[in-house]
């Protein structure tokens, strides 16, 4: 073993048995203190009360108000220059909000006017409570579709429109309550469980489904399936080919082409973002004029028809908190609420990142919740921060949430005076607007990136996509979340154990499968565990580690490299351990001793040390066999290997050499 000594010296030099560092057992803190600390880490990782420290009471009140109403914090610093920017962006998003609002309302099988109502009250609430400067509030396609599919299962929007409407309000109310509750209970992290991969797949699937739904409008069909899955949509389309109206097909395709063209142009030259931003409104105007002039509504082109003037009527009385359908509304509210949250917060965070300001997830949830509660009693349905609208807002150079106020004002004026103009707006145009918006949501590039970087994430993404397209929106969501959870559990259930080797001329020990230059240390097997040791993996680890030892001995037996005598367990990556894990280590120690080997622990974390100590396993293993680093552990072992038999040093463990070599 020529290079052995070369390996030994750096070890003994710094970490020989005599001058090695000891791993201290952290002082035991009282139970409640630990619990408090853990709860704080879990629920207040951002430490929101930090700013309150050492402030006068009056100041604290102000800070508290500013916490819940961020407008109080930035309004004083608001300038005219800001207002100019916000005015422009506000009008721009309004021109997008009006047609989109109407389209999405129809997607949710709700009266079109609700789309406008929903772009009036909620934005005002968010402007006061929201902490994002770029988020533009409004209804979104996916949530609208979800409402339609979930409520539609039990109540038909055509046969029982009033009940359906009331249930939509109630669902919005519950969604608001749920969102606000999540925020107040600091459960923001629940949203984090919807991974990026999940959202990509889910959004893509939803977009696909929404586009399919629009074929109804494009083809000018009167009857259409309520199911959202690919199969039944295709069936209901090709079962009534005789119903297809070429007029509306022509109109629809023309406008779709126009919308995509403008988007393409804006993409090529960002200065012209407003072209694509204004495109929906212009196509609505063009479409309406066309129909008005050609009387096309009598030739199979369906139009919006009467939109009644006036602002949001109160809908507090419409909340159905008693009827047998309440549970349905509750379920719908929770599902749509969490989906809306996921989109809104994701959007808010990404723009906050561009401009590098911070967004408090829990605070945002409260804002979303409040805006939906307010909306539910003023004839609005579920709103959040749609990506498309927020992107336009950002491109239009908005500075603060005032752009939302401007949008709301524009919508108010529309509601008061301009609704009649939408009488002749053809539905097919709305369909084209939705399709154009949805095509932007199918992020195949992201999916490809997932495939390239992480196959598991890709399968999560595809699971969500296929689940939504062939099953239903809920199924897709369940599949995606399920697979994601399974991945986490599997990581813990099957932790990777790897053999470490010495990086030549250093005291560094690294995975031999990762570092080709790493060399094994004769007589010593160094194993690295890279996950917490829990009940879920303790049995696996025990068996896997003993298999490593078997294989090592098989490897050594033929060669004359001397026999295995020490097993070093590198616990550096073992972040946490439970009682099953502790007893696993205890058993492992016994088994290894039975084989005449010595177990050595390296670099255990404080939690591990604490529990090893409390459960008396430290004594069993022996403080002298626990080292601060792998290097020092190896140093000590090699030192003993070359001085005298380990048995003597290990205190009692019989030397294995006879029955192994």
Closest to 318 in 3D by CA, of 329, 304, 306: 329
Structure-block tokens of residue 300:
């199979």
Task: Please enumerate in sequence order all residues whose Cβ is within 8 A of that of 383, keeping only pairs 6 or more positions apart, or say none.
Answer: 118, 119, 122, 137, 138, 139, 140, 340, 371, 372, 375
3-class SS letters over 393-456: HHHCCCCCCHHHHHHHHHHHHHHHHHHHHHHHCEHHHHHHHHHHHHHCCCCHHHHHHHHHHCHH
Residue 629 near a copy of itself by CB under 8 A: yes
Longest dimension (CA), the chain: 104
Q: Which stretch binds a copy of itself (CB under 8 A): 33-41, 242-250, 407-415, 650-658?
A: 33-41
From 321, 490, 648, 661, residue interacting with a copy of itself (rule: CB under 8 A): 490
Q: Provide the minimum distance between the beta carbon of 599 and a copy of itself in the complex, in angstroms, as a whole number.
A: 15
From 36, 196, 222, 295, residue interacting with a copy of itself (rule: CB under 8 A): 196
Residue 471 DSSP label: I
From 81, 516, 560, 652, residue interacting with a copy of itself (rule: CB under 8 A): 516
From 109, 376, 538, 563, residue interacting with a copy of itself (rule: CB under 8 A): 538
Alpha-carbon separation of residue 7 from 103, 169, 348, 507, 650 (angstroms): 72, 73, 54, 8, 21
Task: Please enumerate in sequence order all residues whose Cβ is within 8 A of that of 277, keeping only pairs 6 or more positions apart, or say none.
Answer: 92, 93, 95, 96, 266, 392, 395, 396
Q: Which of residues 321-340 bind a copy of itself (CB under 8 A)?
A: none
Instruction: Check: CB of residue 295 under 8 Å from CB of residue 362.
Output: no
Q: Which is nearer to a copy of itself, 349 or 423 (CB)?
A: 349
Q: Which stretch binds a copy of itself (CB under 8 A): 86-94, 203-211, 384-392, 484-492?
A: 484-492
Q: Which is nearer to a copy of itself, 318 or 364 (CB)?
A: 364
Q: Provide the minimum distance between the beta carbon of 494 and a copy of itself in the complex, in angstroms, as a whole number.
A: 5
Q: Provide the minimum distance between the beta carbon of 24 and a copy of itself in the complex, in angstroms, as a whole number.
A: 7
Q: Which is nearer to a copy of itself, 42 or 160 (CB)?
A: 42
Q: Which is nearer to a copy of itself, 128 or 345 (CB)?
A: 345
State how far the Cα of 329 lies from the Cα of 321, in Å rounded to an integer: 9
Residue 503 near a copy of itself by CB under 8 A: yes
State how far the Cα of 539 lies from the Cα of 223, in Å rounded to an integer: 59
Q: Provide the minimum distance between the beta carbon of 380 and a copy of itself in the complex, in angstroms, as a whole number.
A: 29
- Residue corresponding to tokens 């629920």: 43
Q: State the sign of the Cα–Cα–Cα–Cα dihedral 595, 612, 507, 9.
A: negative
CB atoms within 10 A of CB 13: 12
Q: Which of residues 557-616 bind a copy of itself (CB under 8 A)?
A: 572-576, 578-580, 582-583, 587, 590-591, 594, 605-606, 609, 611, 614-615
Q: Which is nearer to a copy of itself, 423 or 542 (CB)?
A: 542
Closest to 124 in 3D by CA, of 404, 384, 411: 404
Q: Which stretch binds a copy of itself (CB under 8 A): 120-128, 349-357, 373-381, 649-657?
A: 349-357
Residue 347 near a copy of itself by CB under 8 A: no
Residue 488 near a copy of itself by CB under 8 A: yes
Residue 491 near a copy of itself by CB under 8 A: yes
State how far the Cα of 421 lies from the Cα of 288, in Å rounded to an integer: 8
Q: What is the CA radius of gyration of the chain?
A: 32
From 122, 138, 386, 495, residue interacting with a copy of itself (rule: CB under 8 A): 495
Coil, helix or strand at residue 577:
strand
From 52, 68, 189, 316, residue interacting with a copy of itself (rule: CB under 8 A): 189
Q: Where are the beta strands (DSSP E) in 361-460?
A: none
Q: Provide the minimum distance between the beta carbon of 655 and a copy of itself in the complex, in angstroms, as a whole number.
A: 18
User: Phi and psi for 191 in degrees, rounded to 5?
Assistant: -65, -30
Residue 485 near a copy of itself by CB under 8 A: yes
Structure-block tokens of residue 20:
């090695």
Q: Which of residues 453-472 bind a copy of itself (CB under 8 A)?
A: 453-457
Q: Provide the minimum distance between the beta carbon of 621 and a copy of itself in the complex, in angstroms, as a whole number.
A: 16
Residue 540 near a copy of itself by CB under 8 A: yes
Instruction: Check: CB of residue 228 under 8 Å from CB of residue 216.
Output: no
Residue 543 near a copy of itself by CB under 8 A: yes
Instruction: Check: CB of residue 128 under 8 Å from CB of residue 368.
Output: no
Q: Provide the minimum distance between the beta carbon of 518 and a copy of itself in the complex, in angstroms, as a whole number.
A: 11
User: Phi and psi for 39 in degrees, rounded to 5?
Assistant: -60, -40
Q: Which of residues 118-147 bind a copy of itself (CB under 8 A)?
A: none
Q: Which is nearer to a copy of itself, 454 or 624 (CB)?
A: 454
State how far the Cα of 247 lies from the Cα of 296, in Å rounded to an integer: 8
Q: Provide the minimum distance between the beta carbon of 48 and a copy of itself in the complex, in angstroms, as a whole number.
A: 11
238 φ/ψ sector (left φ>0, alpha ψ -120 to 50, else beta): alpha
Q: Which stretch binds a copy of itself (CB under 8 A): 144-152, 158-166, 204-212, 502-510?
A: 502-510
Residue 500 near a copy of itself by CB under 8 A: no
Q: Which of residues 158-177 bind a copy of itself (CB under 8 A)?
A: none
Q: Which is nearer to a copy of itself, 186 or 423 (CB)?
A: 186
Instruction: Check: CB of residue 398 under 8 Å from CB of residue 85.
Output: yes
Residue 452 near a copy of itself by CB under 8 A: yes
Q: Which of residues 41-60 bind a copy of itself (CB under 8 A)?
A: 41-42, 45-47
Q: Provide the minimum distance between the beta carbon of 302 and a copy of itself in the complex, in angstroms, as a whole number.
A: 43
Q: Which of residues 201-240 bind a copy of itself (CB under 8 A)?
A: none
State how far the Cα of 515 lies from the Cα of 502, in Å rounded to an integer: 9
Give counts: helices (H), strands (E), the chain: 29, 6
Q: Which of residues 397-436 bind a copy of itself (CB under 8 A)?
A: none
Q: Provide the minimum distance between the beta carbon of 623 and a copy of itself in the complex, in angstroms, as a whole number.
A: 16
Q: How many residues bind a copy of itself (CB under 8 A)?
A: 91
Query: How far out from the chain centre does Cα 251 lie?
Result: 39
Q: Which is nearer to a copy of itself, 299 or 594 (CB)?
A: 594
Residue 530 near a copy of itself by CB under 8 A: yes
State how far the Cα of 614 lies from the Cα of 304, in Å rounded to an integer: 73
State how far the Cα of 602 lies from the Cα of 23, in Å rounded to an integer: 9
Q: Which stretch binds a copy of itself (CB under 8 A): 40-48, 159-167, 325-333, 365-373?
A: 40-48
Task: Please enumerate in sequence order all residues whose Cβ is within 8 A of that of 494, keeping only pairs 6 or more positions apart, or say none.
Answer: 537, 540
Residue 13 near a copy of itself by CB under 8 A: no
Q: Which stretch binds a copy of itself (CB under 8 A): 56-64, 276-284, 290-298, 352-360?
A: 352-360
Q: Which is nearer to a copy of itself, 250 or 490 (CB)?
A: 490
Q: Which of residues 252-271 bind a copy of itself (CB under 8 A)?
A: none
From 13, 235, 513, 619, residue interacting with a copy of itself (rule: CB under 8 A): 513
From 356, 560, 652, 658, residue interacting with a copy of itself (rule: CB under 8 A): 356
Closest to 392 in 3D by CA, of 117, 88, 74: 88
Residues in the chain, how many?
Answer: 661
């Amino acid at each position: 073993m020529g290079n052995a000594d070369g390996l030994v010296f750096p070890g003994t030099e710094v970490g020989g048995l005599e001058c090695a560092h000891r791993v201290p057992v952290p002082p035991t803190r009282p139970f409640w203190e630990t619990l408090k600390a853990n709860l704080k880490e879990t629920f207040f990782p951002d430490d929101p009360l930090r700013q309150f420290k050492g402030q006068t009471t009056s100041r604290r009140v102000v800070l508290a108000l500013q916490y819940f109403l961020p407008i109080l914090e930035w309004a004083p610093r608001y300038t005219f220059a800001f207002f100019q920017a916000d005015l422009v962006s506000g009008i721009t998003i309004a021109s997008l909000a009006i047609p989109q609002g109407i389209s999405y309302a129809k997607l949710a099988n709700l009266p079109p006017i609700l789309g406008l109502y929903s772009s009036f009250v909620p934005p005002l609430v968010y402007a006061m409570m929201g902490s994002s400067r770029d988020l533009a509030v409004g209804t979104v396609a996916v949530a609208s579709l979800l409402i339609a599919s979930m409520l539609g299962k039990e109540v038909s929007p055509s046969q029982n429109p009033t009940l359906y409407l009331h249930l939509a309000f109630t669902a919005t109310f519950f969604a608001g309550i749920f969102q606000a509750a999540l925020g107040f209970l600091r459960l923001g992290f629940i949203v984090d469980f919807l991974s990026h991969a999940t959202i990509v797949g889910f959004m893509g699937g939803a977009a696909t489904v929404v586009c399919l739904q629009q074929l109804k409008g494009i083809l000018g069909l009167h009857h259409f399936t309520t199911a959202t899955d690919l199969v039944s949509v295709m069936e209901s389309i090709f079962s009534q080919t005789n119903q297809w109206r070429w007029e509306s097909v022509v109109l629809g395709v023309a406008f779709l082409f126009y919308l995509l063209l403008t988007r393409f142009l804006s993409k090529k030259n960002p200065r012209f973002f407003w072209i694509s931003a204004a495109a929906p409104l212009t196509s609505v105007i063009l479409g309406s004029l066309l129909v008005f002039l050609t009387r096309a509504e009598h030739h199979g082109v369906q139009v919006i028809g009467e939109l009644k003037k006036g602002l949001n009527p109160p809908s507090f009385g419409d909340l159905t908190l008693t009827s047998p359908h309440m549970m349905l509304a509750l379920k719908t509210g929770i599902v749509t609420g969490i989906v809306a949250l996921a989109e809104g917060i994701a959007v808010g965070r990404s723009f906050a990142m561009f401009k590098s300001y911070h967004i408090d997830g829990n605070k945002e949830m409260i804002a979303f919740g409040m805006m939906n509660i307010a909306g539910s009693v003023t004839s609005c349905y579920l709103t959040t921060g749609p990506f498309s609208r927020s992107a336009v807002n950002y491109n239009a150079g908005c500075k603060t949430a005032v752009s939302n106020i401007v949008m709301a004002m524009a919508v108010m004026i529309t509601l008061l005076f301009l609704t009649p103009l939408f009488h002749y707006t053809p539905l097919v145009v709305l369909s084209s607007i939705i399709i154009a918006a949805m095509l932007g949501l199918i992020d195949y590039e992201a999916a490809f990136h997932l495939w390239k970087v992480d196959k598991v994430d890709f399968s999560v993404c595809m699971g969500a996509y296929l689940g939504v397209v062939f099953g239903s929106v809920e199924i897709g969501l369940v599949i995606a979340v399920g697979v994601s959870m399974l991945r986490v559990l599997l990581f813990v259930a099957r932790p990777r154990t790897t053999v470490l080797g010495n990086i030549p001329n250093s005291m560094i020990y690294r995975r031999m499968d990762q570092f080709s230059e790493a060399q094994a240390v004769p007589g010593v097997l160094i194993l690295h565990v890279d996950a917490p040791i829990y009940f879920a993996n303790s049995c696996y680890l025990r068996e896997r580690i003993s298999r490593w030892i078997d294989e090592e001995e098989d490897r050594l037996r033929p060669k004359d490299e001397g026999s295995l005598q020490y097993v070093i367990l590198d616990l550096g990556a073992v972040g946490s351990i439970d009682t099953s894990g502790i007893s696993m280590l205890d058993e492992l120690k016994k088994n290894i001793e039975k084989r005449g080997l010595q177990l050595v622990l390296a670099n255990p974390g404080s939690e591990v040390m604490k529990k090893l100590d409390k459960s008396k396993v430290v004594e069993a293993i022996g403080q002298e066999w626990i080292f601060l680093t792998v290097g020092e552990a190896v140093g000590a072992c090699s030192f003993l290997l070359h001085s005298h038999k380990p048995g003597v040093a290990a205190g009692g463990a019989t030397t294995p050499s006879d029955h192994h070599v």
